[in-house]
Structure formats: C-alpha cells, structure tokens
Amino acid sequence: MGRIGLLHTGHGSVETPLFLPVISSTRQIVKPREMKEQLKCQAVITNAYLLLKRDVSKSFSRDLHQQLDFDGAIMTDSGAYQLLQYGQIHTDAEEIARFQEDIGSDVAVVLDIPTGDVGREQASETVEKTLANSRKTLETVRHSRTLWVGPVQGGSHIDLVEHCARESSKMNFDIHALGSPTVLMKRYLFPPLVEMICAAKMNLPLERPLHLFGAGHPMMFSLVVALGCDMFDSAAYSLYAKSDRYMTASGTIKLTDLRDFPCSCSVCSRLSPNDLRDLEPQLRERMLALHNLHVCFDEIRRIKQAIFEGRLWELVESRARSHPLLFRAFTMAVQDSRCAEMFDKNTPVSKRRGIFLFDGISLNRPEVRAYLRKLKENYSPPRGRNLLLLLPCIWRDVEVQEIKSALPVDALVAKSSTHVCYYGPPFALLPEELLGVFPLSQSMSALDPTTCLDRVIDVVGGYVATHKTYSRVIFLHTGDESWRALAWACASAIRKRSRALKVCVREASVGAALGM
C-alpha cells in the first residue's frame, strides 16, 4: 500500500510519505527553520490548543508561520492529546476550528475525542462525539486554503474504528487521521495497531491521504507506510534526546552504552560518544535531537527509494526483525485475511526490479499470492500436450532443449506433445511459457524445497486434477534428498486425485550432464 504522492498546501506541495516533527510553541530545542535548512524538512506539526491559550494571554502573534519562523507547510492538532492526558480542555469544536483557520494553518485537525485504552461503551461515546465534532467543524469552516483532517477513533475496538472511518469518509475531508495509537506504541503493542490501521484504511477513500498520529520510531515507519499511512508525526526525536537516548533505524541505544556512533550525520561525524557525553545537558539534548531527526528523515528517504524500486516489502521484512513485537505485527499483517486482501488488491502487478524471498514469511507476499490465484483461475495449458514434464525450479534458467537431450530416450514421447513445467518453492508450479511474466523470472529465492512442502503438493496436485489434458506425468529430481522427497510427495498427491493417470518419478543426471 506504500505510495509516493504530492499533497498541495497553502505553503507549497509536500511529498508523501511525510514525516512531521512535533514543534513546541514555547520550547524548541531544534528550530523549524533549522529543520528545513539542514534536513530538508517540508512540514511540521504544532498544537493549536496551546497556541489558543497563548492567544488568550496575548503572547501569540496570530501569524502561525511567522510565530514558528517556518515558511513550509504547518499542520495543527486541535488539543485531543491534552484531552487524552488531562481529561479536559477549555474550547469546543467550532472555536478551535475558526482559530486554526485564522492563524493560517495549512492542515488542520477536527477536535476529536481520543479513545485511548477504555471499555467498549466509553469507546463508542468517543467515536460518536468525534463524528459530531467533525460535522460541526465542516459547517463552521470557511473553506479557505486550509486542508481539513477527519479523525478516526475507536481504539482497539476494531468494529468501532471501521464505523468511524465509514462515517468520516462520507464527509468532505481532504485528509483522514487515525487517532489513539500512542497508548499502544508506548507499550510496543504493534499487533493491535496493525489491526487499527487496516480497519481504517479499508473503510476510507484511497485518494485521501491517511495520517497516523504519534508514529514515534523510525523502525516502524516502513511497516505503517506499507499498511497505507501517508503521513505521520512524532515528538519522539526530542523526548528521546531529553532522556539521553540515541535513535537508529532499528532501535534505540542509551548514550551511556555507545562506544561508536553507527551513523555519519552532521552530529555523529563531528563528535564521538565521549564528546557528546561531556557536553552540558542542554547542548547534549540538542545534538541528540538533531541526530534523531537525521535518522527519521533518512528512513523516509530510504522508504521512498524502496517504493520507487519496488522493494518496500524487503525493507519492511528487515525492519520487522528489529523487535519481536514488531515482527509479530508484521507476520500478523501478512497472514491476516483482511490485511492480505487489502495488500493483494493494491499491490502493483509489476515492479522495476525483481523480488527477494527469504523464508516462509516471504511466501505471503502479494505477488506470490496473486500468481497462485491467477494460475488457478486464468491459466490453461497448451492444447495437444499430453505429457507433463515437471522439473525442479532450480533448473528454470537452463535451456529446456539441453535438459531434454540429457534425458533417457524412453522418458519422452514426441517433443511437440511435451509440456514442461517447473515445481518447487516459492511459486509451486511454473509453466515454461510463463517464465518471462513478473515476478517468476524476476525473483531470487533462498527457500529450501521443504519450506512450503504442503503448498507445492496442493498446487501441483490440484493443477493436474483440474486440467485433464495429460495422460502421463514425469517428475525429475536432482537426487538431493529434499528434492526427491518433494517429487515423490507431489506424485503421490496426483495419484490419489487421478488414479488412471500414469505418474513416475526419476532421478535425472541433468545436473551432471550440464555441469550443475
């Protein structure tokens, strides 16, 4: 679901996936202008409710971009975080909406009621109040250049998230945002977060960007982008710096535990860990915050490049192994039927580069599932071919005519009646004439023949049983024990389904004959 897009705002177009650092209106350890000049930051987010309180006290200029000294896009949150933290705020949906427009916010959020970690009855109340505030806000705003964000609440109550997303999608919002994930992310509860994102994304218009509030750590950026999030914000870069924590793309390290910096950003290339530890606290916090921002923006660029190359899945697989609970969330996402349906429907049918398959998890790639589905639903073997010659898929790069010439004479009938297919992981069954179709020949696999034994047996057996054109099936194997076992298991499955069919298994000297 990852995509690169342009969001047009009152202060220029910004590219998504988009990371928005949270900016405090009073204490800025790294200035927004610095973020733009040093890190090419396109957009930031700040809290409109705190600005409203300053406006009441006459300490705010009413020009948001001038106040923050930032000429890029600025998004404002409405105060929901304060509601979540403190239980109340002194404003309403109409007032905060008008205020956000008045100060020149480029992207403004409805005053939603965060669900947090509560029971179903209370969660339902937060959803209905959020939807009511959404309607009030759209009636209040003057349809200026401000882009309006429709929040989706419901927390871990997935049916409520779905309901809120469906109702919000009927309203004239430019962007949607998933609320209440911070409680989960603080406790590394990534699996329920995946469910929430999928529930929201599947019930929102695809053409509208989806923002994820509080997506704190770069190690999870690639996963949430793959799930369909286009934008996300975080204050973690600053909060981590305040507690002497050093971000990497795969985790966090305490400054006291660092011997060498695994980074070459402007901070890490000038200072050693000892140098950083010796700085006075405020300067150390600033340097750590700058480094943490570098890591976040570097990861966004890495994600965009992966999307461009068609390698986002590989990046997600790599990052998922950063933390056991993140890995569990990833495996849940690729195995859950609803998420799988969303991935299958929206994954491109071809990509710039081939795909890598590492283990059983890789077999859940949408490209693999799509191929197996199309093989079953759309494919018919060539007419007049009554001999099915099945070769190990590791031979697929070898000229078939060379293989045929190396076989015993009695193994073949007339060449014109032979249909060559390849068997084995990751694609189970590959007809010779489809080898040029993405992703069959544009893939590289580290899978052992026994990795997906049941899948290969089921696909091969089902294929032969479905297509009644063959009178004889010959399996060749390399002599290796795992390939021999796979060939015999597939042959046994065919015999059970098609008892009248002649099936034999042979060890071929093809490898020796071709110098393999």
Name the active-site residue from 55, 69, 71, 77.
77
CA nearest to 21, candidates 340, 237, 345, 194: 237
CA dihedral 116, 119, 122, 127 (to 10 degrees): 60
CA nearest to 74, candidates 101, 112, 54, 50: 101
- Is residue 366 reached through a cis peptide bond, with omega within 30 degrees of 0 on the bond before it? no
DSSP 94-161: HHHHHHHHHTT-SEEE-------S--HHHHHHHHHHHHHHHHHHHHH----SPEEEEEE--TT-HHHH
Q: How far apart are CA 327 and CA 307, in angstroms?
A: 20
Tokens of 410: 């009695």
The dihedral built from the CA positions of residue 450, 454, 455 and 459, taken in this order, carries a sign that is positive
Q: How far apart are CA 230 and CA 197, in angstroms?
A: 12
Is there a contact between 393 and 476 (Cβ–Cβ < 8 Å)? Answer: no
Q: How far apart are CA 293 and CA 237, in angstroms?
A: 6
Tokens of 404: 């045929």
Assess whether 257 carries a catalytic annotation: no
Q: How far apart are CA 276 and CA 484, in angstroms?
A: 59
Q: How far apart are CA 372 and CA 364, in angstroms?
A: 11
CA dihedral 336, 341, 347, 348 (to 10 degrees): 150
For residue 357, the Cα-to-chain-centroid distance in whole angstroms is 17
User: How far does the chain reach from its first CA to its final CA, in angstroms?
Assistant: 40
Active site residues: 77
